[in-house]
Structure 1
Amino acid sequence: MTDDTLVPPGLPRIAVLGAGHTGPVIARVAIAAGHPVSIAASGDPDRISLITSVLAPGAQPRWAADAVADADIVILAIPLHRFPAFDSDLVAGRLVVDTMNYWPPTDGVQKMFEDRRYGSSEIVQRRLTGSTVVKTLNHIGYHELEEDRRSPGSPDRRALGVAGDDPGAVKLVAELIERIGYDTVRLDNLEAGRLFQPGGPVFGAPLSRTAFELALVTDAQ
């Protein structure tokens, strides 16, 4: 992908797949930043219309295929244990933000994610062969995502990492993260996203950009 194919007129359209804890929060902060947002669960959008109106007012509940069809960024916010059954064709040709974590105490042992040669988002990318995967939003709690937003230049503005193999995709996603209220630290390959995983040096840590970068460098030494 190139920047020209990724950047639409106006702000990118967001499709959030997942209406549990994380999805509605992501929808809310994206809407607050001015993005048009659709949200979808695994079935009929009427089933999530009430929860959407309460938890993500302004988001449009839609069938997943319809939400993805006109989205510029698809945010995958489903429970990780459901990913093995996820239809990869649904997001073929799309930029997908992977917000999931592999946490066996919560999800149980998932055979797909037990291959220690790869980080969890690398495994997601290997499954979603027709998509471009970017890793972010997995290392901040959904309950913090709304509360910790700050304006650009704020001394206590928190940083989030954005990792991916496609520079244009990383740029577009980083701009989204910055608009919703965070500084970004961009990593130029999806493999580096392992640093964002549970047990990694920045997982769950409210760090400034400088401290975030330092934590990554220190861990690599």
Structure 2
Amino acid sequence: MPRGGDRKGRTEVSATTLGIIGTGMVGAGVARRAVDAGLNVVLSNSRGPGTLAGHVAELGRAARAATPAEAASAGDLVLAAVPLATYDRLPRAELEGKTVIDPMNYVPSYFPVPELDSNELTSSELVQRHLAGARVIKALHNIGPKHLLELFRPAGAPDRTALPLSGDDPQAKEQVAGLLDVLGFDAVDLGPLADSWRSEPNTPLYALPYVGQPPSGLTPAEFVAWVQQAPGTPVGAARIRALAATAVRGPAGFRF
């Protein structure tokens, strides 16, 4: 069951700079929303700052390119938007003492991990084990970038969407809830990282609350394509809590 309450109505966040490691769909989408919300972003990827000129030009003066280590150092909060298969390449020294947002999802066919397959750990606990000196918060993993850019609303709006988060450090959860508020979303605390499975793939909280029910008979690839293009559907905090409470733990990860 979710252990925490809702985070609503925040008007400020201690972070003014968001470091982003990874500029795929998630990293790029969060960067766009963050800049539009008035934050600075430092973008990075594994290919080097020179490959990010287009992203920086599109985002404007609030964005700059850097290496992953530089983005980690510069960010008041850091989004680790990399494939889970590369989590152990995150710059551990530069993330020491940082709050790290983990939007990674496990896909066993790409990167099998016995400890995840046996449900001994959640994927975020695996990341936290690697980043032992950081404070890992699971968030921004169950909503698509398109819907992040469609569903944001001002604090107090009756149709404001809520997003789940999980983590072991209360202060870090407050930081991330504050960031989500600035981005235009309420937050629902699902408890520690050990309970983050409640919003992972194969649970009622993953993707579908924000897009509705897909057509029947879709192949896995067609399902992913449909979710990425479907119009966004606002989902309030009460609904997020209710769906989390119905989750039953089964095989970990998104399985094609």
Structure 1 residues 9, 110: CA separation in 2 closer, same or farther (over 3 Å shift)? closer
Quote the residue 2:181 is aligned against.
Answer: 178
Aligned length: 212
Structure 1 residues 43, 27: CA separation in 2 closer, same or farther (over 3 Å shift)? same
| 1:209 correspondence with 2:237 | yes
Gaps of 5+ in 1: 1-7
CA deviations 1:24-66 (Å, max 9, x no partner) are 1111111122112111111421121123323x33311112222
In terms of fraction of residues, the more helix-rich structure is: 1
Quote the residue 1:133 is aligned against.
Answer: 136
Quote the residue 2:120 is aligned against.
Answer: 117
Cα distance in structure 1, aligned partners of 2:114 and 2:91: 18
User: Could you say what secondary structure the match of 2:189 adopts?
Assistant: strand
* Post-superposition offset of 1:119: 1.0
Cα distance in structure 1, aligned partners of 2:93 and 2:244: 34
What is the one-letter code of the residue matched to 1:217?
A
Structure 1 residues 12, 201: CA separation in 2 closer, same or farther (over 3 Å shift)? same
| 1:195 correspondence with 2:194 | no
Quote the residue 2:24 is aligned against.
Answer: 20
> How does the TM-score come out when normalised to structure 2?
0.75
- Which range is displaced more, 76-85 or 121-130? 76-85
1:1-221 equivalences under 5 Å are 11-54=15-58, 56-57=59-60, 58-105=62-109, 107-110=110-113, 113-204=116-207, 205-206=209-210, 207-219=235-247
* Post-superposition offset of 1:115: 4.4
CA deviations 1:145-177 (Å, max 9, x no partner) are 111111222222211011111110000100100
> How does the TM-score come out when normalised to structure 1?
0.87
What is the one-letter code of the residue matched to 2:198?
L
* Post-superposition offset of 1:22: 1.1
Output the aligned Cα RMSD.
2.3
Structure 1 residues 32, 101: CA separation in 2 closer, same or farther (over 3 Å shift)? same
- Which range is displaced more, 197-206 or 86-95? 86-95
C-alpha contact (below 8 Å) 2:79/2:102 kept by paired residues? yes
Structure 1 residues 52, 112: CA separation in 2 closer, same or farther (over 3 Å shift)? farther
C-alpha contact (below 8 Å) 1:68/1:91 kept by paired residues? yes
* Post-superposition offset of 1:11: 4.0
C-alpha contact (below 8 Å) 1:167/1:188 kept by paired residues? no
Structure 1 residues 202, 102: CA separation in 2 closer, same or farther (over 3 Å shift)? same
Identity of aligned residues (%): 30
Gaps of 5+ in 2: 1-11, 211-234, 249-256
Cα distance in structure 2, aligned partners of 1:111 and 1:133: 21
User: Could you say what secondary structure the match of 1:198 adopts?
Assistant: coil
Structure 1 residues 9, 99: CA separation in 2 closer, same or farther (over 3 Å shift)? closer
What is the one-letter code of the residue matched to 1:101?
N
What is the one-letter code of the residue matched to 2:90?
F
- Which range is displaced more, 10-19 or 123-132? 10-19
